[in-house]
């Protein structure tokens, strides 16, 4: 029998991506949609219809799943979670801070917001014990961090990392649409700054590559220097990465470690997992965001241009592309839910 899930914040772009990521999912079925009071009690189809212009306010390239158009939207502020096994939450951080702990009292919450990102969030048992919750909140990493940590993880495990520098050219969709990136700012342009992003990447990378210790996480000890920019690309984050390894690592060794990475995960056969976590290209013109973001349903990280970096000791550099709204958001969240299900947490 399928797990019953609720999607909260279902009318925004992040919520819509959840609906697509969950459409016809073999393990999960969408049993409840919730949004703000304005949408409450309308059908989903009505809730995303603009009464002034007649436009459908649906923001994804794929059409909305037919089956969800007739579901009635509930008020997120008074959502009854009886019979719900998982909540996927796509509300803004300030709303998340209020609603998600309330949901977590009874039900596991997979959260797209940054609100709880720095609370030792992987530590589900700790959360439950400390707070007396039956559920928990699992925040997702920032969409710029996820591709980076996937590419770094096999190198870190095999060779150690002493320092890492990264410059991103991020897709527009990372900023959402309220208003997100304004077209006047990005056509024929690069925006050299994304407020708060560089600190997030540095902090989360250390945390995700860290290890559990009594009472928390001991972050990976190497510094990450990120420069985050916005490019005129719809979706997909491109990152130029340079790093020093602790122990010498040839280009071939690095490629091999990346290609082998994630085989254990692959054995679990999770519905949303990519067949290969990292696809390593030898063609120097790859990866490109438009060509590589959608590989394997947007769940694989594409790496290319792996080469020595002569400006760093044991230097290595490469480019990567990761899909910020698939692996980096909704589908990544569903993958997390699948792992938690297999792990017995849900």
Show which residues are catalytic.
143, 237
Tokens representing residue 317 in the block = 């550099």
Site string for its own copies, 87-116 (x = CB under 8 A): ------------------------------
43 touches its own copies by CB under 8 A: no
Tell me which residue has tokens 């304004």. 182
Tokens representing residue 31 in the block = 């049993």
Nearer residue to its own copies within complex by CB, 61 or 344: 61
66 touches its own copies by CB under 8 A: no
Of 64-72, 112-120, 139-147, 286-294: span binding its own copies (CB under 8 A): 286-294
Closest residue by Cα to residue 164 from 206, 196, 194: 206
238 touches its own copies by CB under 8 A: yes
Cβ proximity of 176 and 236 under 8 Å: no
* Count of residues engaged in binding its own copies, rule: CB under 8 A: 63
From CA 56, how far away is CA 53, in angstroms rounded?
9
252 touches its own copies by CB under 8 A: no
Closest residue by Cα to residue 119 from 146, 47, 109, 198: 109
Q: How many CA atoms lie within 13 A of 172 on its CB side?
A: 17
Tokens representing residue 96 in the block = 């998340």
Tell me which residue has tokens 């590419």. 151
Nearest approach, Cβ of residue 162 and its own copies (Å)? 9
181 touches its own copies by CB under 8 A: yes
Nearer residue to its own copies within complex by CB, 123 or 308: 308
Angle at 306 between CA 300 and CA 307, to 5 degrees: 170
Nearer residue to its own copies within complex by CB, 110 or 295: 295
Interacting residues with its own copies (CB under 8 A): 52-56, 59, 61, 163-165, 167, 169, 172-173, 177, 179-193, 195, 222-225, 227, 229, 231-234, 238, 240, 242, 282-291, 304-305, 309-312, 315, 317, 319
């Amino acid at each position: 029998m399928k797990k019953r899930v609720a999607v909260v914040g279902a009318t925004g772009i992040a919520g819509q991506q959840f609906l697509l990521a969950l459409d016809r999912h073999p393990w999960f079925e969408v049993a409840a949609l919730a949004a703000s009071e304005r949408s409450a009690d309308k059908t989903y189809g009505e809730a995303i219809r603009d009464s002034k212009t007649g436009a459908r306010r649906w923001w994804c390239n794929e059409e909305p799943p037919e089956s969800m158009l007739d579901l009635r939207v509930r008020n997120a502020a008074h959502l009854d979670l009886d019979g719900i096994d998982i909540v996927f939450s796509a509300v803004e951080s300030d709303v998340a801070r209020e609603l998600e702990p309330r949901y977590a009292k009874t039900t596991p919450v997979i959260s797209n917001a940054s609100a709880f990102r720095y609370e030792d969030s992987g530590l589900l048992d700790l959360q439950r014990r400390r707070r007396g919750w039956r559920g928990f909140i699992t925040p997702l990493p920032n969409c710029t961090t996820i591709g980076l940590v996937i590419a770094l993880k096999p190198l870190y495990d095999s060779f150690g990392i002493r320092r890492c520098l990264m410059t991103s050219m991020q897709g527009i969709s990372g900023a959402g649409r309220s208003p997100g990136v304004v077209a006047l700012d990005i056509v024929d342009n690069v925006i050299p700054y994304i407020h708060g992003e560089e600190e997030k990447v540095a902090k989360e990378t250390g945390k995700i590559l860290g290890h559990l210790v009594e009472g928390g996480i001991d972050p990976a000890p190497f510094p990450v220097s990120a420069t985050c920019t916005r490019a005129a690309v719809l979706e997909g984050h491109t990152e130029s990465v340079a790093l020093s390894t602790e122990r010498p690592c040839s280009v071939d060794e690095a490629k091999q470690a990346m290609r082998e990475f994630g085989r254990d995960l692959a054995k679990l056969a999770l519905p949303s997992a990519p067949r290969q976590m990292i696809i390593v290209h030898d063609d120097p013109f790859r990866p490109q965001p438009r060509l590589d973001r959608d590989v394997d349903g947007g769940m694989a990280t594409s790496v290319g241009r792996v080469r020595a970096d002569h400006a760093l000791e044991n230097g290595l550099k490469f480019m990567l592309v990761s899909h910020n709204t698939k692996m980096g958001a909704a589908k990544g969240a569903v993958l997390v839910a699948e792992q938690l299900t297999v792990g017995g947490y849900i």
